[in-house]
Amino acid sequence: MKIDLTGKVALVTGATSELGRVIARTLGQCGALIVIHYHQAADKAQALHKELPGSYIVQADVTQEADVLRMRDEVKSQLAAPDIIVNNAVIQYPRLEVLKQSTADYISQFESCVLHNVLMSQAFVPDMIAKKWGRVIAMNSESSMQNWSTQSAYVSGKRGMDGVLRCLAREIGEHNITVNQVAPGWTVSETRPEEGRPQWYRNGIALKRYGKDQDIANAVAFLASDLASYITGTYLPVCGGNIMPAI
């Protein structure tokens, strides 16, 4: 048994980010043809494109409807309508306490978490419905359950997207399309080593170790495959047991 995405087109938003690059590489290793989305990091997109034979680069601001529709039309004309979309992009901002956080930061998180998922779904799901097969995978966060100090804008955006995607899962499930969320914990990578990461955080993880970016990408690949064909509407923590959703 293996994950085989041969013949599938997978679009990863924010594919030039630390996590996005590993997700794109992993889906490519499973046989998918990768669409590398970027907003501003054109140089990183070109570098990733060189790693992934047959990949295609597309630029867009995923918080803007016109940009997302242009991206859809470009990808369809150059390749094909994506079978898999991984909504990974998010706007970064300085995190402060609620009483100090700018309202602009709450708006940016709504745009990059909620609107991002709405616009991507509206643009790409209709073609999945026509094909009677599709995967919508979105990157949430363990923060949605932690609600730590200074996380309020981020948590509000991630919790909002959770509601949208659970509704979407019910609305399009009859078309053989699954909608799932992966919720990473703090992870390490080649460019973000464990050195310097807080010991107290690792001590709170059930598995007593930091996760790797590849752990997150593996979960995405699983949910993108037919091995997960009967899983939809999930919020899947990949955090070593740092959070444990309860029934």
Give the tens place of pLDDT for each residue, 156-199: 999 999 999 999 999 999 999 999 999 999 999 878 888 878 99
CATH code (residue 200): 3.40.50.720
Active site residues: 154
Q: Does residue 137 belong to any structural domain of this protein?
A: yes
**What is the overall mean pLDDT for the chain?**
97
Q: Does residue 245 belong to any structural domain of this protein?
A: no
Q: Does residue 88 belong to any structural domain of this protein?
A: yes
Q: Does residue 178 belong to any structural domain of this protein?
A: yes
Q: Does residue 73 belong to any structural domain of this protein?
A: yes
Reported as a single tens digit per residue, the pLDDT across 59-113 is 999 999 999 999 999 999 999 999 999 999 999 999 999 999 999 999 999 999 9
Q: Does residue 198 belong to any structural domain of this protein?
A: yes
In the sheet where 84-87 sits, what is the strand order? 56-59, 33-38, 9-12, 84-87, 134-139, 177-184, 235-238
By three-state DSSP, how is residue 72 classified? helix
Q: Domain count of the chain? A: 1
Q: Does residue 66 belong to any structural domain of this protein?
A: yes
Domain holding 142, by residue range, is 9-238
Q: Does residue 35 belong to any structural domain of this protein?
A: yes
What is residue 190's predicted lDDT score, i.e. its pLDDT?
Answer: 79
Please state the rounded mean pLDDT for residues 219-247: 97
